[in-house]
């Protein structure tokens, strides 16, 4: 399945009923140097729009919202020791969380790559 | 750091250059200013600590205070500040604060006395961008008829900061090399008449260069042509000053804080304390004698999560003892640091405290400032 995107600059890929979520390259550029990432506990139930993580750059803290309903099944522990990975490889190794989706069909409400690209260009 | 919503943003003589250098421009105190360049805040911060950084600080207020002679002008300013200005020698600069009647800090500023008999009676002020209007109104309202305030609107201000700043500067303005820390001098920079102070806001050796607006870009380009120099944005300016333990007005100091609470009692000199004739002298002298009800301290955090301005400070027993006024990540230390105000009973270095971030308590302790040693240029005999 292709990557989907939110207006909060998160990317989502889905395998089975598990979504991997991270922030986009555009988001990391806007944040600047990331110095700390706070991730949710595994097992936490989240609803679309809930605060799921916090990214701290040198300048400020920014929330990362759950893009879909579900349960956190994994958090990327690498980011605790190497928050700078978010700047280096935001759409790869620096994924934030994996969420077991309550309703896979919700992903249809998210933007595809072309729509996200147009969205960013319109900012 | 007020973002003035009304009216278009002002530019500086270097705004086009910032754009050309790929800066991200943001509103700051009514100006469109570079918060960072493509290198990013941490790289810019480290560059300044290791080599030399160029900062556009043209948004700051530059102004002349002009009276018939030094004594008259100095005494006029002394009516608004607690420092001994009269004692300032030609070619010297001092950090001071404008006070309100309650002894609260209206702004923190630099005052310098230029050299040369023709400059007798002139003092040069550099004030915060966000406080220009307030400061000038206050100063004008308190000046005697024979002393005038002349805001300088046609000059840029460029800072060059870092351990290599002196070597870089010497190639263009040889006279700068001989200056002592907190010295000021008129000189030529590649033939451009500039007014230079050896000071800054990073904890490093360096200069602030007041230059005619039309010559600002050539001067900046000449400095940037040196491979040791990189352009540095406001993001790194903030992390550098925080590591150096320096206050940011509107955050660490405001109209309610006194110099004693702000832990900047070095702005008070003995003669002024003895004469006790500055605004708010009763409160300030009482705080000096009996201690203030709150005091600015530094804090280091045990973990990696930063705590920001506004975070509550709690004692080990959970009671609220203060609030953070600045906080962030210290690139030089690779760890979060903060500044805040606490009840003096809890201000001892090493006192364990908790900082409340997103509803959770982070372990921290009161720390000595500066967090990173200052490396100002001290002459053995100056």
Rounded to whole angstroms, the Cα distance separating B130 from B30 reads: 8
Say what the alpha-carbon torsion angle B341, B347, B351, B355 is, to the nearest 10 degrees. -10
Note whether B42 contacts A36, CB cutoff 8 Å: no
What's the pLDDT tens digit per position in A28-54? 999 999 999 999 999 999 999 999 999
**Which stretches in chain A have pLDDT values below 70?**
1
Question: Which residues in chain B have Cβ-Cβ distances shorter than 8 Å to A35?
Answer: 42, 304, 306, 329, 336
pTM: 0.94
- For residue B379, name the pLDDT band (cuts at 50, 70, 90): low
Question: Which residues in chain A have Cβ-Cβ distances shorter than 8 Å to B359?
Answer: none
* For testing contact with chain A, the best of B44, B306, B326, B359 (most A CBs within 10 A): B306
Contact A5, A113 (CB under 8 A): yes
pLDDT for B6: 62
Question: Which residues in chain A have Cβ-Cβ distances shorter than 8 Å to B233?
Answer: none
Within an 8 Å CB–CB cutoff, is residue B239 touching chain A?
yes
Note whether A54 contacts B358, CB cutoff 8 Å: yes
Note whether A35 contacts B304, CB cutoff 8 Å: yes
Note whether A32 contacts B239, CB cutoff 8 Å: no
Within an 8 Å CB–CB cutoff, is residue B233 touching chain A?
no
Note whether A35 contacts B358, CB cutoff 8 Å: no
- Give the three-class secondary structure for A62: strand
- Domains of chain A in start order, with CATH, are 4-106 (2.40.50.100)
Within an 8 Å CB–CB cutoff, is residue B306 touching chain A?
yes
- Does the pLDDT of residue B4 top 90, yes or no? no
pLDDT-above-90 percentage for chain B: 96
pLDDT for B273: 98
Neighbours of B120 (CB within 10 A): 16
Q: DSSP letter at B302?
A: S
Rounded to whole angstroms, the Cα distance separating B316 from A116 reads: 48
Within an 8 Å CB–CB cutoff, is residue B327 touching chain A?
no
ipTM over 0.95: no
* For testing contact with chain B, the best of A39, A53, A59, A63 (most B CBs within 10 A): A59
């Amino acid at each position: 399945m292709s990557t989907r995107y939110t207006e909060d600059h998160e990317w989502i890929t889905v395998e089975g009923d598990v979504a991997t979520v991270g922030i986009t390259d555009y988001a990391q550029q806007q944040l600047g140097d990331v110095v700390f990432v706070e991730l949710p506990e595994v097992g936490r139930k989240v609803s679309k729009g809930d605060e799921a993580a916090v990214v701290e750059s040198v300048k400020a803290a920014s929330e990362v919202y759950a893009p879909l309903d579900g349960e956190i099944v994994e958090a990327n522990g690498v980011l605790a020791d190497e928050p700078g990975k978010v700047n280096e490889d935001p759409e790869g190794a620096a994924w934030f969380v994996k969420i077991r989706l309550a309703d896979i069909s919700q992903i249809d409400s998210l933007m595809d790559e072309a729509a996200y690209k147009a969205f960013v260009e319109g900012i | 750091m007020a973002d003035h919503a009304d009216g278009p943003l002002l530019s500086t003589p270097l705004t086009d250059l910032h754009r050309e250098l790929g800066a991200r421009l943001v509103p700051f105190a009514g100006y469109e200013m570079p918060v960072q360049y493509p290198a990013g805040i941490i790289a810019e911060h480290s560059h300044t600590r290791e080599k030399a950084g160029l900062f556009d600080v043209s948004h700051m207020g530059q102004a002349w205070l002009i009276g018939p002679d030094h004594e008259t002008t100095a005494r006029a300013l002394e009516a608004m500040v607690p420092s001994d200005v009269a004692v300032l020698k030609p070619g010297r600069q001092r950090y001071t604060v404008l006070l309100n009647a309650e002894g609260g800090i209206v702004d923190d500023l630099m005052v310098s006395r230029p050299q040369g008999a023709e400059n007798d009676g002139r003092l040069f002020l550099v004030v915060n961008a966000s406080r220009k209007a307030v400061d000038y109104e206050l100063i004008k309202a308190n000046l005697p008829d024979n002393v005038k305030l002349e805001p300088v609107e046609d000059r840029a201000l460029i800072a060059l900061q870092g351990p290599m700043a002196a070597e870089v500067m010497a190639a263009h303005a040889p006279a700068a090399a001989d200056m002592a820390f907190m010295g000021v001098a008129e000189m030529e920079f590649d033939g451009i008449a500039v007014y230079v102070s050896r000071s800054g806001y990073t904890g490093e050796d360096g200069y602030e260069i007041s230059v005619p607006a039309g010559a600002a870009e050539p001067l900046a380009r000449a400095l940037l042509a040196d491979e040791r120099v990189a352009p540095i944005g406001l993001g790194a300016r903030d992390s550098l000053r925080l590591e150096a333990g320096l206050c940011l007005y509107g955050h660490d100091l405001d109209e309610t804080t006194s110099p004693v609470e702000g832990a900047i009692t070095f702005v008070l000199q003995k003669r002024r304390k003895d004469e006790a004739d500055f605004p708010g002298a009763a409160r300030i002298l009482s705080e000096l004698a009996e201690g203030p009800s709150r005091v600015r301290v530094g804090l280091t955090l045990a973990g990696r999560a930063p705590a920001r301005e506004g975070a509550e400070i709690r004692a080990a027993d959970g009671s609220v003892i203060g609030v953070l006024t600045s906080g962030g990540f210290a690139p030089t230390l690779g760890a979060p640091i903060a500044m805040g105000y606490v009840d003096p009973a809890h201000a001892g270095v090493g006192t364990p405290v908790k900082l409340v971030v997103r509803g959770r308590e982070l372990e921290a302790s009161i720390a000595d400032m500066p967090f990173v040693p200052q490396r100002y240029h001290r002459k053995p005999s100056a």
